[in-house]
Amino acid sequence: MKIRIVPIIIVLLTYAVLQILISTGFLNPYWQQIIGFAGIMTISALGLNIIYGYTGQFSLGHAAFYGIGAYTSALITKSFPHLGLFGFILSFFAAGIVVALIAFLIGMPILRLKSDYLGIATLGLGIIVKVVFDNADAVIPKLGGSRGMGGIAHFTNFPWIFFMTVAAVIIVRNFVYSTVGRACISIREDEIAAESVGIDTTRYKTMGFVLGCVFAGIAGVLYAHLYAFLHPSNFDFLKSIDVLLIVVLGGLGSISGTIVAAIGWTFLLEGLRVLLPPQILDWRLVIYPLLLIVVMILRPRGLFGGKEFKFLKG
């Protein structure tokens, strides 16, 4: 395995710079949280990129797994507060396992549907999961249901966000240029042709789907312990659309595009909040979709259109 020195140095430098800005108080807690969201959206979007950008499976239910990860981990850290940081790390594994299991069980029957129908089925799944979240407190009162779940410990800080995001990028990049990744790409390109050269499409589609959903779950864990309050309305269809937006905006099948789009999108929404004078602050949510439409018309293949930064190529 080639150890590329230059990217490693750049990553460590970026971390150092940002960490200094945070520790000296230059970046106040508000911006720290925004950076946190940017990292979380990046991880979640990378997951959807695996499912849709690389394997070609149109999934509109990504937020459901994001939510499952968030609620599972929050339940663990709230139920075992004496475990402290170890409990947090444990909750990652718990969330990952639960999400993987559900994604596997649901993926097996659903992934045989074709593109638009798969989108509908995953959309329906997302709504069903949201209704489950709304009523979850009937079964497990701690989960809060539609009253929301609060009082979660703030374990997520900048080092966690940064290094988990970097780890996610490394995992996705290695996945894409591996045998499994190439099988998935072939499924996206032409499923029938892939089958006829002997690729077990069901197996690889499920693998891609499960991996992508686990990414969403991990992002959910970080989110739960950053925002410290969970409400089912944060995990609905509109949230799935947000992630889809980011993946398409960045360019399907481009890791660099997803990273840039996720960070850019988070800062765009916040930047508009800062830039616009208070009288027309409501216009923030009008300008955002207009920008979206303009970008889509001008660059329909997304910002990066399938290209990658050099250091991410294999």
Could you say which of 8, 14, 112, 203 contacts other proteins (CB under 8 A)? Answer: 112
**Selection from 85, 86, 110, 95 nearest residue 47 by Cα:** 95
Q: Which of 85/285 has CB closer to other proteins?
A: 285
Could you say which of 121, 152, 176, 183 contacts other proteins (CB under 8 A)? Answer: 121
Could you say which of 292, 307, 308, 309 contacts other proteins (CB under 8 A)? Answer: 292
Is 105 among the residues that bind other proteins (CB under 8 A)? no
Shortest distance, position 201 Cβ to other proteins, whole Å: 14
**Cβ-Cβ contacts under 8 Å for 250 (sequence gap 6 or more):** 45, 49, 256, 257, 258, 259, 260, 261, 262, 302, 303, 304
Cβ-contact 123, 93 below 8 angstroms: no
Q: Which of 136/161 has CB closer to other proteins?
A: 136
Is 286 among the residues that bind other proteins (CB under 8 A)? yes
DSSP-assigned letter for residue 97: H
Q: 3-class DSSP state for residue 237? A: helix
Cβ-contact 205, 107 below 8 angstroms: yes
Q: Which of 91/240 has CB closer to other proteins?
A: 240
Question: CA dihedral defined by 274, 277, 281, 287, rounded to 10 degrees?
Answer: -80
Q: Which of 93/117 has CB closer to other proteins?
A: 117
Could you say which of 3, 24, 179, 282 contacts other proteins (CB under 8 A)? Answer: 282
The window from 62-70, 213-221, 240-248, 261-269 that contacts other proteins (CB under 8 A) reads 240-248
Shortest distance, position 266 Cβ to other proteins, whole Å: 17
Cβ-contact 162, 40 below 8 angstroms: no
Cβ-contact 58, 118 below 8 angstroms: yes
Could you say which of 20, 120, 274, 275 contacts other proteins (CB under 8 A)? Answer: 120
Could you say which of 11, 83, 100, 241 contacts other proteins (CB under 8 A)? Answer: 241
Could you say which of 283, 311, 313, 314 contacts other proteins (CB under 8 A)? Answer: 283
Could you say which of 27, 134, 171, 268 contacts other proteins (CB under 8 A)? Answer: 134
d(CA 224, CA 155): 9
Is 131 among the residues that bind other proteins (CB under 8 A)? yes
Q: How far apart are the first and last CA of the chain?
A: 11
C-alpha distances in angstroms, 215 versus 39, 42, 65, 255, 313?
12, 10, 9, 14, 21
In DSSP notation, 137-187 reads GGT-GGG-GGG-B--------HHHHHHHHHHHHHHHHHHHTSHHHHHHHHH
Shortest distance, position 297 Cβ to other proteins, whole Å: 5
Instruction: Give me the residues that bind other proteins (CB under 8 A), please.
Output: 109-110, 112-114, 116-117, 119-121, 123-125, 127-128, 131-132, 134-135, 192-193, 237, 241, 244-245, 248-249, 252, 282-283, 285-286, 288-290, 292-293, 296-297, 300-301
